[in-house]
Copies of this chain bind each other. A is one copy, B any other.
Amino acid sequence: MAPLSLASLALQQHRLIHDIYVLLDDGDRRVLAITRLTPLEFAVLQRLDLEEGRRLTDIGAELLCVKSTITRLVDRLEASGLVQRTPDPDDRRAQRLLLTSEGYALCTKASALHNAAVERRMGLLEPTEQEILALLLEKLRTNLHRDLSDNA
């Protein structure tokens, strides 16, 4: 196997992942626009729906964005009445985030829309293909993550 063919295969895959991400993200934005949420705002609401009372820093770390981004994103969500900051009883520096009932309702609606869209789009592959793809992607993610830790 010639080195060149390997090289272009790697570049080709990188390009494919990039293109697919752009297409998926574009679809996500369209679907979520119905709820007036950006993908990142939706991600925060989802995290809170899964586990209430989380701290801003934790969510930021999970979503790979800096703290100030979360601060201002939560400012927006709070101004829209979707979440509420409450002081952490154990640490007076920290803020715990709670979903309001409006926030919960919107998150439920957004999740339904989003999940349906994702299922439809990922369903463009056969179930068997999906399973193989998931396995390979899982391995790639794990290795990339380790690679990042090693080289950071």
Contact = CB atoms under 8 A, between A and B. Distances in A.
A24 interface: yes
B141 A121 contact: no
A contacts with B: majority SS: helix
Contacts of A14: 24, 118, 121-122
Interface stretch (A4-12, A67-75, A85-93): A4-12
A134 B16 CA distance: 8
Please tell me how many copies of the chain the complex holds: 2
A38 interface: no
A124 B140 contact: yes
Given A24-B18, A141-B23, A148-B27, A13 B122 contact: yes
A123 B11 CA distance: 10
A133 B24 contact: no
B118 A9 contact: no
- Tier of interface size on chain A: 35 or more
Contacts of A134: 9, 12-13, 16
Contacts of A6: 119, 123, 127, 130
Given A7-B115, A130-B10, A125 B141 contact: no
A1 interface: yes
Q: Top 3 closest A-B pairs, CB basis? A: A124-B143, A10-B122, A21-B21
